[in-house]
Amino acid sequence: MFYKICFFDLDGTLLDIGRGRKAWISKKNSDAVRKLANKCIIVISTGRKFNSKVALIGRQIKAKFYICQNGAEIFDKNFSTLFKTGIKQEIISKIIEITKRFNFVISFNSKVFFFKNLFIKFLNFFLKSFDFKPFRQILVPENVRKILIFSVNIWKIKKFAYVLEKIFSDNLQICLIRKFRVIEITDISASKGKAVEFITKFSNISLDYALHIGDSENDISTKKIVKMLIIMQSGAKNAKKNADFIGYKRKFGVAKVINNFILEPKSAAIVGKYGSGKTTFLKKVEKFGYSVLYTDEFFHNCYLASGECFKIIKKIRPDFINENIVNKNKIRNFMLKSKQNRDLIEKSIYPFLENHLSKNHYHFVEIPNLWTKNANFGKFFSKVVWINTSKKQQLLNIKRKKVKNDIKLKNQALNTGKIQFYDVKISNRKWKKPGFFLKFFSKIFK
């Protein structure tokens, strides 16, 4: 399995039954995470403060670490504190002063104080588990890990967040959540993203093997830190815009992500004519964090003196070896002379690619000769994506390749196989449109 550590948000993600204080994890989600826990480290990553319920959920899913209060507190599986940080009292005092001027509601570590009665109805809807007290009774805890500021006025809360950013950008993490009605504030050293860095370093695991699943704006901080950020389909719009992959709806959604994307990952074959733009397309795909195999690169390495292809070519056609280097042009000429010659080479080298694919998973594989009779590549792929382009664009793409003209012509001749079937057909114009890739990934992996 590719991932070695997986981070799970609770509310709206892992907890898919009920809402708020009554939210709980379904058996399907629980079973899927427990199964995953046998193969990688499970981490709870939540905005909630650490309590008995969080601990109980963690035990149920075999969590090794707990990120609470958006990274302000980190605990190990024995509930020992690994990291904690708080907001300085002088900063809290300034925030309280500004909050009073705006007539907003403020919460310290999940204890809520309100200033005007008109907020009660709003707070009862969102924060049923909190206590309400008038502003004059405000009591700031000794250690404030997280501050929440509420308002029904989206324009005013956005303005307030802007003011806070200008004043405290060097000291605080400030995040708008709940459809821009709530500001979430932690110390500058506390975010889910920074917590990911802390735990992976603590566990001696590369960030290249880390995955985060969430649904809220506070999950965005893990973007470009983890290898893959998955946001639930029912998640916040802004969070989905920053996702590498959009998951499923809330109920049983985590179980589906684990089964379809992690434990039994799907793989797509990328096919198309020579010069159709397959490599350019896949270079773009790689930027989203997906693993890609370019068969040209694979065989380039395979033909090196230490590679298996080199050894087999040296055995069957030693005349193709010049000074310990495979003469690929001789191979091309040989394959183009007859079908028997082509079959001989393909039957000799394709088993190495088959063996590699059987032992390694890639989300996407560029494979121009998918339907050859000399190998069974189809068994490795759940989807086939055809990259199609106009003849004019194809010629332009070929012209841009830094390859001699005679080699270009030979490569074209060796890549003239018909597209027998496909699941998704994509043109150059289509994949260059904004927003294309998130929809594309959802289609491929669902």
Which pLDDT band, with edges at 50, 70 and 90, does 122 fall under?
A: low
Q: What is the pLDDT of residue 435?
A: 79
Q: For helices 405-414 and 328-337, what crossing angle results, to 10°?
A: 50
Q: Which range among 9-13, 207-211, 407-411 shows the weakest confidence by mean pLDDT?
A: 407-411
Spatial distance between the Cα atoms of 206 and 228, rounded to a whole number of angstroms: 13
On whether both 14 and 156 belong to a single domain, the answer is no
Of 33-42, 45-54, 429-438, the one with minimum mean pLDDT is 429-438
Nearest alpha carbon to residue 367 among 312, 415, 425: 415
CB 411 within 8 A of CB 274: yes
Is the Cβ–Cβ distance between 245 and 230 less than 8 Å? yes
Residues 327 and 348 in one domain: yes
In whole angstroms, give the CA distance from residue 183 to residue 149. 5
Q: Tokens 């496909």 appear where?
A: 422
Choosing from 124, 153, 185, the residue where a domain stops is: 185
- Asked if residue 198 and residue 177 are part of one domain, the reply reads no
Same domain, residue pair 22 and 136: no
> 325 and 346 in one domain?
yes
Alpha-carbon distance 42 to 427, whole Å?
40
Residues 325 and 438 in one domain: yes
CA proximity to 7, closest of 277, 278, 283, 225: 225
CATH of the domain at 302: 3.40.50.300
How many beta carbons lie within 10 A of that of residue 377, not counting itself? 19
* Number of compact structural domains in the chain: 3
Contact criterion met (CB below 8 Å) for 172 and 139: no
What tens digit of pLDDT does each residue of 295-350 get?
Answer: 989 998 999 988 899 899 999 999 988 888 888 888 888 888 898 998 999 999 99
Q: Which of 237, 260, 283 is the last residue of a domain?
A: 260
Q: Are residues 252 and 335 in the same domain?
A: no
350 and 225, same structural domain? no
> What CATH number has the domain bearing residue 77?
3.40.50.1000
- What are the pLDDT digits (tens) for 340-388? 998 999 999 999 999 999 888 888 999 888 888 888 998 999 899 988 8
- Domain end point (choices 217, 232, 260): 260
Neighbours of 370 (CB within 10 A): 20
pLDDT 10s digits, 19-47: 877 889 999 999 999 999 999 999 999 99
Q: Is the pTM of this model over 0.85?
A: no
Tell me what pLDDT residue 155 has: 87
If DSSP states are collapsed to H, E and C, what string results for 165-234?
HHHHCCCEEEEEECCCCEEEEEECCCCHHHHHHHHHHHCCCCHHHEEEEECCHHHHHHCCCCCEEEECCC
Inter-residue contact 301 to 307 (CB < 8 Å): yes
Q: Tell me how far apart the alpha carbons of residues 239 and 184 are, in angstroms, rounded to a whole number.
A: 15
The sign one gets for the Cα dihedral 190, 192, 196, 202 is: positive
What's the mean pLDDT in 15-20?
A: 86
The verdict on 96 and 108 lying in the same domain is: yes
Regarding whether 92 and 223 lie in a shared domain, the answer is no
Neighbours of 203 (CB within 10 A): 14
Which residues constitute the domain of residue 23? Answer: 3-81+189-260
Q: Cα–Cα distance between 109 and 145 in angstroms, integer?
A: 6
CATH for 171: 3.30.1240.10
> Is 76 found in the same domain as 154?
no
pLDDT at 81 over 80: yes
Please provide the distance, in angstroms rounded to a whole number, between the alpha carbons at the two ends of the chain: 19
Q: Which residue has the tokens 């009920």?
A: 18
77 and 206 in a single domain? The answer is yes
